[in-house]
Structure 1
């Protein structure tokens, strides 16, 4: 069962808050006065954006073209407050061919198969709490516009090391390509 369903949302955006190196990434879905905000890892935002583009290019390249998506680009900031409803542990995207819609689902815990073999007496952060989830249903142009917003939210981070590509902190970093010397 999905807790928060937006089919379709009035607004669906990805964004980040905080200085480079300390940013928190969010996805927000809004419909009238109702808003759901979930926090994600930077890599989850990157994979969500690239996966959406690949899916749209495969199943709806004409309907979800960049030209069609341009009308739905949303460059406005995230809506405050930035309190997340839950932290995303698992994401999925799917195509509904009968409706020609993309479905993005986010869950606050991993799939049960991912937990198989782990300590059955393990202490998980969600123990005792009901599961939470978010489903966002978008047509192809809106999904591509959302994917563009995912990519834009990643920009403005820390610059990369010219030798190894890892992010540089203001104080530098231990560079593996320089045999551990600080760059």
Structure 2
């Protein structure tokens, strides 16, 4: 089965954004180079963890003597992107993701793979020609300033959701929620 790779080496734009209202939002990672746009859906938790891990990698790189990769300590103002998503069309829903660092280009590298549609009970059954769908993935390489801006925006998008209950920590809907505290 061939793998279709949506590759962006120096994207014009890479952001996390949402469609919908808090409590019913769909999160998208959208990447654009020129007219080529790819949007993949992810979970809120995946988005938050991705931002956290990108900041961790960048913060570790700053500690290298002389900061040879010119990693910014904060988001460069010229890279702030608060614009909405560009009419997302979901390419796939993200399952696994990897995060890496490429020192040869001084870029953060993200690989995103779709959720597997394989039913574990069907593994021994041969695939027919109609079910041999092409697999796909997204590969994004972004420079350190863009990565810092991406992480900042993602944290803001994640934080714009439903407020957390001060008692149990779970998200509250506009009409509240049934708070069930763990028994001591």
TM-score range, shorter chain: 0.7 to 0.9
Q: How many residues align?
A: 169
**TM-superposition CA deviations, 1:24-75 (whole Å, max 9, x none):** 0001110111100000000000000000000011124652224463321111
**Helix, strand or coil: the match of 1:85?**
strand
Alpha carbons of structure 1 residues 100 and 33: separation in structure 2 relative to 1, 3 Å? same
1:106 aligns to 2:106 (yes or no) = no
Greater share of residues in strand: 2
Could you say what the CA RMSD is over the residues aligned between the two structures, in angstroms? 2.2
- Structure 1 gaps of 5+ residues are none
1:72 aligns to 2:83 (yes or no) = no
2:91 is aligned to 85
Q: In structure 1, what is the Cα distance between the partners aligned to 2:103 and 2:62?
A: 10
Give the one of 152, 155, 170 matched to 2:174: 170
**TM-superposition CA deviations, 1:122-175 (whole Å, max 9, x none):** 69xxx6322111111111111111111111111221111121110112332221
**How far has the Cα of 1:2 moved from its partner?**
5.6
- Structure 2 gaps of 5+ residues are 126-130
Please, what TM-score do these two structures have when normalized by structure 2? 0.83
Please, what TM-score do these two structures have when normalized by structure 1? 0.83
Q: In structure 1, what is the Cα distance between the partners aligned to 2:137 and 2:169?
A: 35
Structure 1 residue ranges, 4+ long, deviating more than 3 angstroms after superposition: none
2:100 is aligned to 94
Of residues 44-53 and 138-147 in structure 1, the stretch that sits farther from structure 2 once superposed is 138-147
**Helix, strand or coil: the match of 2:135?**
coil
1:4 is aligned to 6
Q: In structure 1, what is the Cα distance between the partners aligned to 2:50 and 2:71?
A: 16
Question: Contact 1:66/1:141 (CA < 8 Å) preserved in 2?
Answer: no
1:119 is aligned to 120
Give the one of 21, 24, 37 matched to 1:22: 24
Q: In structure 1, what is the Cα distance between the partners aligned to 2:61 and 2:34?
A: 30
Q: In structure 1, what is the Cα distance between the partners aligned to 2:73 and 2:18?
A: 23
